[in-house]
A = this chain, B = another copy of it.
Amino acid sequence: MGRIVVDVMLKPEILDPQGQAVRGALPRLGLDQFTDVRQGKRFVLSVDGEVTDEHLAKAREAAETLLSNPVIEDVVNVHELTSDEPEQAPITGAGA
């Protein structure tokens, strides 16, 4: 099974209340080195078998038509999720 990642972020000029809320909370955890936070969406699309160029083209189409709202969002990324990315082994979340 192959997987494709699509990342969508609010356009830089659009207000991001979500990112702002996170930005405001971080210093309370003693994390004050972050000057800005933006929050977007990450989609992982699965396909049967290997990821082909055709799959990627379709994913791009999905990204632009359904997964993002071009009035306020940009698709910043469409790429195959390769197994050497850390993704496969979550770096946290072992416990609960």
Contact with A26, one of B35, B37, B40, B62 (Cβ below 8 angstroms): B62
Judging by beta carbons under 8 Å apart, are A93 and B11 in contact?
Answer: yes
Contact with A47, one of B35, B54, B67 (Cβ below 8 angstroms): B35
Judging by beta carbons under 8 Å apart, are A91 and B76 in contact?
Answer: yes
In whole angstroms, what is the CA distance A93 to B96 when docked?
39
- Which of A33, A59, A71 has the most chain B CB within a 10 Å cutoff? A33
Give how many A residues have a beta carbon under 8 Å from the other chain's beta carbons: 59
Judging by beta carbons under 8 Å apart, are B36 and A46 in contact?
Answer: yes
Judging by beta carbons under 8 Å apart, are A37 and B44 in contact?
Answer: yes
Judging by beta carbons under 8 Å apart, are A64 and B92 in contact?
Answer: yes
Which residues of chain B come closer than 8 Å to A78, judged between CB atoms? Answer: 86, 91
The distance from the CB of A35 to the nearest CB of chain B, in whole angstroms, is 5
Which residues of chain B come closer than 8 Å to A9, judged between CB atoms? Answer: 42, 44
Judging by beta carbons under 8 Å apart, are B96 and A68 in contact?
Answer: no
